[in-house]
Chain A
């Protein structure tokens, strides 16, 4: 049976196991069903879990190793002349065999030798599938049977089920952690390879970014310059512009929503504001590139300023609009968390509402607001699409918002798009940039979370 079919069968078996377990519990308890330690459905769940989990583990392990083992078997059984082939060539052959078996177009006619090998391959696969089917179903039945036999009135099914569920939860949550660690490590290793060719000092403090390297040995010209300062400067410039837009607008709208507006208005306005965060960034991107950037250029030209058609200002403004909801939503939550008693205390002293907000509410909420801002900044730093479309690719080291700049994320994109060997410094540079970016946003997030949490504790 194929894997999806196996899983479907397992689902049916599990459902049946649940029912069997439940019935069994009621049956062994007889009329004394109150003496059962746990509710009948816990006995059902227990049986179902024992039916499903071991079988699934088996399936996973089988699928993980099946391919490797079969391939190895096929290769060892190939005629002696093939044994001496290099690994890529063998891979090619195996690929041909696979394609042949699944009826796809094959790159060349199969020789008689290969025909034999293909048949062998096919046989092995069929055997494997049959073996899996038998094993899988017997494990499921066995698990179910064992669990079923354990059911007795004094069997603590509830505790067992809870324990199994807890283990499942732990596995799922650690999975996410391990995946994150894996990503970080892979970026880290590639970065280390990069730093073997380019010194980390040049990378961090170099003022010139021009990552073109020769593709062929004999090619003349660019040997590449990997000074990341212009990229970080560009990122900083755009993030600052974005925050100049988002911080005041986000904060004032949060103050209005939480302190002044009618609850009914707030109930509609807040979700609407949050929609801003849900607009795909590519939409912001073309809004920035096609609407805002030309507008800025025209206005600038009217004032006699030289504005490039892709400018940091355009990207920053639009990015600022995008992160308004981050600032406003978190600020609003934090402001709302300031206890009513403090507001009452201030009002009862004869303060006006705005005095109360300025002198009591905002100072009390400040740490949380700062935390929200930091999260928004880290979002701005990591943002790619808007900058790709609106800020340009030129790695200018400038503080002039009217010029084109480029950012870390944009360069990562351009480094990896294009035909380069995967281990050239140019592509590896992307990992180094990614690592830096990750470290910066991680630091910002940690600080932000710390600040927000500290603030929360203050009033609990």
Chain B
């Protein structure tokens, strides 16, 4: 796996999960109204004073937060508060929306991802994304997983590609279920399997971070439990940012939780602290179900 991982990081050889760049001597706490500590000791990604506008309308207001190596960060908040919008800034998926405009600074291992010199293709190979509705391509299971490695030229031989497909499916916990039907269409799997196929598809390009936008909201409880387990396992190798509507899910899978409200990042903290002892009234109201 390590070899493959290095193969993806074509841009700067120094950037790997295993050898993080030296952390700054003293962490500069950003100037923010967010309650709780938004920084971490060894961030893989940092965001500072991010604003997002859709045309005239501001959807994200001055958000700063760090993402650590090998952590699951969950983002919660009432619908329309900008969770998806913020998540989509992290791999520049907002570029595909004509009216969207992002300001502020977002860095992946010290490199500004909105810099002109950053290739968005490489960025997205390093910051993968899993969507709310499973969206396998109308191709075979194998081709779905092989898609990313193919476009990034990660395998020179068929055997290598087979290997990548198998490991990715194994890591996504789908191998046992599909190993005999690799040539069947991915769209023919069950919803939960499709979502795990989409996870396998992102794992196949060996990202550093996986963004998940309500990955279980279209799934039944059993498929959901299966994915939650998976997220916990994936933390060994990746950082994960997950948007979720279910507070139980946030509590089960994440180490840190960020609470968004109407475009503001209200509060950030250890998941256990946020859930047992929120500092902000808004957070508490949301968690106790007074609105949302």
Interface residues of A (CB under 8 A from B): 263, 339, 341-352, 355, 359-360, 363-364, 458
Contacts and interface: CB of A to CB of B under 8 A. Distances in A.
B176 to A, nearest CB: 24
A360 B137 CA distance: 7
Pairs A-B, 10 closest by C-beta atoms: A350-B125, A348-B129, A341-B135, A350-B124, A349-B148, A345-B135, A350-B121, A351-B151, A355-B151, A364-B138
Contacts of A341: 131, 133, 135
B129 A263 contact: no
6 contacts: A263-B98, A341-B135, A349-B201, A351-B121, A352-B121, A360-B137
Contact of A347 (B96, B137, B138, B198): B96
B122 A350 contact: yes
B138 A349 contact: no
Given A346-B147, A348-B128, A350-B148, 14 more contacts: A263-B98, A341-B133, A345-B136, A345-B137, A345-B198, A345-B201, A346-B137, A347-B96, A347-B124, A348-B124, A349-B128, A350-B152, A351-B147, A359-B151
A345 B151 contact: no
B141 to A, nearest CB: 14
Interface in B166-225: 198, 201-202, 205
Nearest to A348: B129
Contact of A349 (B96, B133, B139, B205): B205
A348 B121 CA distance: 9
Given A339-B135, A341-B135, A342-B135, A347 B93 contact: yes
The range of chain B's interface size is 20 to 34
B202 A349 contact: yes
Interface string B135-157: 11111000000011001100000
Contacts of B126: 350
A351 B202 CA distance: 12
Contacts of B129: 344, 348
Interface in B89-133: 91, 93, 96, 98, 121-126, 128-129, 131, 133
A346 to B, nearest CB: 7
A458 B185 CA distance: 12
A87 B102 CA distance: 89
Interface in B216-262: none
Contacts of B147: 346, 349, 351, 359
A355 B139 CA distance: 15
B88 to A, nearest CB: 9
A360 B151 CA distance: 12
A352 B147 CA distance: 12
A355 B138 CA distance: 15
Contacts of A458: 138
Contact of B202 (A344, A348, A352): A348
A454 B290 CA distance: 48
A204 B129 CA distance: 60
Contacts of A350: 121-126, 148, 151-152, 205
A458 B151 CA distance: 25
Contacts of B93: 344, 347-348
Contacts of A345: 131, 135-137, 198, 201
A348 B135 CA distance: 11
B185 to A, nearest CB: 10
Contacts of A339: 135
A227 to B, nearest CB: 46
A352 B125 CA distance: 11
B11 to A, nearest CB: 12
Contacts of B152: 350
Contacts of A352: 121, 151
Nearest to A358: B151
Contact of B91 (A343, A348, A351, A355): A348
B125 A344 contact: no
B137 A342 contact: yes
Nearest to A458: B138
B98 A349 contact: no
Nearest to B136: A345
Nearest to B121: A350
B85 to A, nearest CB: 14
A295 B85 CA distance: 57
Contacts of A351: 121, 147-148, 151
Contacts of B205: 349-350
A350 B125 CA distance: 5
Nearest to B98: A263
Contacts of B138: 342, 363-364, 458
Contacts of A349: 124-125, 128, 147-148, 151, 201-202, 205
A344 B98 contact: no
B247 to A, nearest CB: 26
B130 to A, nearest CB: 8
Contacts of B136: 345
Nearest to A341: B135
B10 to A, nearest CB: 11
Nearest to A459: B138
Contacts of A363: 138-139
A284 B123 CA distance: 51
Contacts of B91: 348
A319 to B, nearest CB: 34
Interface in B57-111: 91, 93, 96, 98
Contacts of A364: 137-138
B57 to A, nearest CB: 19
Contacts of B201: 345, 349
Interface in B10-35: none
